[in-house]
Amino acid sequence: MQHIQPPEKSKLAYVIGPYQAPIAHVSPGETFRVSTLDAFENRIDSPKVDLREVITLPYVNPCTGPIFVDGAAPGDTLAIRIDDIQIPRDYAVSCLIPEFGGLCGTVFTRVLNEPLPQRVLIHPITKDGLVHDRALKIPAIPIEPFYGTIGTAPTIEAISTLAPGFHGGNMDAADVCPGNTVYLPVNVAGAHLFVGDGHAAQGDAEVCGVAAEVPTVGTFTIDLIKGRAVRTPRFENAEFLMSVGSARPMEDAARIAFHDLVTWLSAEHGFERMSAYQLCSQVARVRVANMVDILYSVVAKFPKRYLPTP
């Protein structure tokens, strides 16, 4: 089985775009492994680390890629099944970055308050789960690994790995996890797939801007849907159809997600469009994937048990 490693530090991908030379090729139907660094290049190993010496925004979320998918052409859809995610170390990292997060001033939300103090936590990963803080008498957090960033190259843009969008990117959606299939648009020959920003655990919204950050070894099976392009990322598992919207304000992200979900239901699952719209109002679920990135991401979910029977 092919195992794709991160490139050398000078060639790490901090943008998702069509201009970098592919580091590997895969073929439809192939199962392969990808190793990724954590969001901080694996450089934080102690709570005493000075973040000013480690983090220079926007150089976070290094991705492994681009991975060239043989036969992928503009107008196709990439279907990436996530078979497994392993965490190759015994701790995760989280931190408070002074001018980043959902409850502080940022370049998009201007306030006169002082930046938050920096704070770093190292979270041991044990057989019982992730230990948030040994000083707190609380249960261990379940290990539920997923990828915060996965995307394909836009046609001409090179988009920061901090940003989500119609290409995927930094959606921070916990549904990018083992057992689920991710559908992404193909905008350039070979698709140019990027993967990174592994998380051991994350609450909905990733409110402080950082999850439990880890390197990963992921196993993927890739396929190609020819001649049909998704307009925004989609996920699927045995229980849900899911569409992702990324925008600001957050209600526009939700509108994108639900518009795509209704379109999906009516185009491929036998619903009349307005019927799908009305039914979503009664049975759909919503996950706020992130409220901290350059754009916010919302996942709209439709329970597959409500799909019409043939």
Phi, psi for 283 (deg, rounded to 5): -130, -10
Q: In this predicted model, what pLDDT tens digit does every residue of 43-97 receive, in sequence order?
A: 999 999 999 998 888 899 999 999 999 999 999 999 999 999 999 999 999 999 9
d(CA 173, CA 166): 14
d(CA 304, CA 136): 39
Indicate the Cα dihedral angle 302, 63, 152, 245, nearest 10°: 30
Indicate the Cα dihedral angle 186, 188, 189, 192, nearest 10°: -70
Task: Report the DSSP beta bridge partners of residue 125.
Answer: 130
Q: In this predicted model, what pLDDT tens digit does every residue of 120-162 receive, in sequence order?
A: 999 999 999 999 999 999 999 999 999 999 999 999 999 999 9
Q: In this predicted model, what pLDDT tens digit does every residue of 168-218 receive, in sequence order?
A: 999 999 999 999 999 999 999 999 999 999 999 999 999 999 999 999 999
Q: Are strands 91-96 and 119-126 parallel, antiparallel or unpaired?
A: antiparallel
Which domains, from first to last, does the chain contain?
A: 3-92+143-225 (2.60.120.580), 234-306 (3.10.28.20)
pTM (predicted TM-score): 0.96
d(CA 310, CA 303): 17
Token pair 């092919």 in the structure block, residue: 2
d(CA 92, CA 45): 9
∠ CA 7-11-15, rounded to 5°: 110
